[in-house]
Amino acid sequence: MAATVGMRDSYHSAALGKAMLGLLDEGAIRERVGDEPFAQKTTTTCRNYSELFSDLKEVRNCGYAIDDEENEPGARCVASGIS
């Protein structure tokens, strides 16, 4: 993986970011993520709020978020928010 200490990832493409967004309301999510289209890091990265809110619905239902090669090719991650 290409991650390094201190590196930042986008909320919409990383499991950790989606896990954190899953704890927030829509206004706070839009404030953090910004304008569409979102930066596409891989061919599976979500590009808009419709896709992101669909992912976040699943995060809230399951209690965890998955990044299936959305942030980096070949990398899959799982994360859970703690409230």
Q: Which one has a higher pLDDT value, 9 or 78?
A: 78
What is the per-residue pLDDT for 67? 95
What is the per-residue pLDDT for 1? 65
Residue ranges of domains in the chain, CATH in brackets: 15-79 (3.30.450.40)
What is the per-residue pLDDT for 49? 98
User: Which residue spans within the chain are E strands per DSSP?
Assistant: 65-68, 76-79
Residue 57: beta bridge partners? Answer: none
What's the predicted TM-score (pTM) here?
Answer: 0.87
**Span 18-35, mean pLDDT?**
96
CA dihedral 24, 80, 15, 8 (to 10 degrees): 80
What is the per-residue pLDDT for 61? 96
